Amino acid sequence: MTRLGEWLAESRNGVFFGGAGVSTDSGIPDFRSAAGLYTKNGGDSPEYLLSTECLHEEPEKFYQLYKTELVHPQAQPNAAHHHINTLIEAGHLTSVVTQNIDGLHQAAGTQQVFELHGSAWRNHCVGSEHHPATLEQVMAQPGVPHCPQCGAMVRPDVVLYGEGLDMDVLNGAVNALANADLVIVGGTSLNVYPAAGLLQYYSGDRLVLINAEPTGWDQAANLVIHGRLGETLGAVIEEMGL
């Protein structure tokens, strides 16, 4: 059995930590990649267009980009999402810490998901009552969506530039990583902070990085696999007989 297979077989409290690369096989582009959002935009920077400042001062610009580039309601979980859930159901992993807002881990059946950057599937108006709204309602309204109850603008429950992470989610992720006996990192360049900094809370010696390209964290990992996440996990699951 490969080292990853051996470690997973022994693990009872593993955590998967993932980023945008987990969902690219579902048709959701990694907007920091060469073909992603950062190379498509002229004029305003993506950091501005996806900021709390832009949302409140130029909501039309925000939603033009948000609806066309960041939200993909028709996307379905891919092999990586399903393999991760298989490892959770088998008792080798306990939870997922994700930087993604697409909800695909939950769609694959995973229940314990710490969404560091929030979820596009949760929305609420900015009025005093914070009325909830569905993603379907947000996408159905042209341009800037408004609350059918009070008329206030609706915003997604995602962390924008200029905003802090949700402390309950952050604390949950920190506790999961601090108590993990194995951490598998996949589909992320680990360049986005403070999310990437959470790995410092893992003090074990089974940090595994699975990425198509090298990352700045490779030297700190105990095992580095350069390959496709879905294929790598699929081979290990087959090896384990799951």
CA distance readout (Å), 46 to 32, 58, 144, 179 = 10, 13, 18, 35
| Residue-range definition of the domain harbouring residue 231 | 1-28+77-117+164-242
Q: Say which CATH number the domain at 223 has.
A: 3.40.50.1220
Whether residue 215 lies inside any domain: the answer is yes
Radius of gyration of the chain (CA): 18
Measure the CA–CA gap between 66 and 42, rounded to whole angstroms: 15
Confidence of residue 218 (pLDDT cuts 50, 70, 90): very high
Q: What are 41-66's pLDDT values in tens digits?
A: 557 888 899 999 999 999 999 999 99
Measure the CA–CA gap between 38 and 54, rounded to whole angstroms: 17
CA distance readout (Å), 21 to 42, 92, 101, 117 = 24, 22, 12, 15
Whether residue 135 lies inside any domain: the answer is no
Burial of 57 (0-12, 13-18, 19+ CB in 10 A): exposed
Q: Mean of the pLDDT values across residues 101-112?
A: 98
| pLDDT > 70 in the chain, percent | 95
Q: Mean of the pLDDT values across residues 81-94?
A: 99
Model pLDDT, residue 37 = 59
Whether residue 49 lies inside any domain: the answer is no
Model pLDDT, residue 41 = 56
Query: Which residue, chain included where needed, has tokens 């969902």?
Result: 23
Catalytic residue annotation? 117
Whether residue 188 lies inside any domain: the answer is yes
E strands along the chain, which residues?
A: 14-18, 93-98, 113-115, 118-125, 132-133, 154-158, 182-186, 207-211, 223-226
Q: What is the DSSP letter of 149?
A: T
Contact 201, 36 (CB under 8 A): no
Q: Mean of the pLDDT values across residues 200-212?
A: 96
Q: What is the pTM of this model?
A: 0.93
Residue 15 confidence (pLDDT) above 80: yes
Going by C-beta distance under 8 Å and a sequence separation of 6 or more, which residues neighbour residue 203? 178
Q: Mean of the pLDDT values across residues 228-236?
A: 97
| pLDDT > 90 in the chain, percent | 86
Measure the CA–CA gap between 190 and 174, rounded to whole angstroms: 16
Whether residue 219 lies inside any domain: the answer is yes
Residue 5 confidence (pLDDT) above 70: yes
Mean pLDDT, rounded, of the chain: 94
Q: Which of 181, 21, 23, 8 is nearest to 86 (CA)?
A: 8
Residue 200 confidence (pLDDT) above 70: yes
DSSP assignment of 96-142 equals: EEE---S-HHHHTT---EEETTEEEEEEEESSTT--EE-HHHHHHSS
Model pLDDT, residue 156 = 98
Q: What are 112-141's pLDDT values in tens digits?
A: 999 999 999 999 999 999 999 999 999 999
Whether residue 20 lies inside any domain: the answer is yes
Q: How many domains does the chain have?
A: 1
Query: Which residue, chain included where needed, has tokens 């008792």?
Result: 91
Contact 200, 31 (CB under 8 A): no
Model pLDDT, residue 38 = 56
Q: Mean of the pLDDT values across residues 21-41?
A: 73
Element (H, E) at 65: helix 59-65
Confidence of residue 227 (pLDDT cuts 50, 70, 90): very high
Q: What are 132-188's pLDDT values in tens digits?
A: 999 999 999 999 999 999 999 999 999 999 999 999 999 999 999 999 999 999 999
Residue 34 confidence (pLDDT) above 80: no
Half-sphere exposure of 223 (CA within 13 A, CB side): 20
Residue 39 confidence (pLDDT) above 70: no
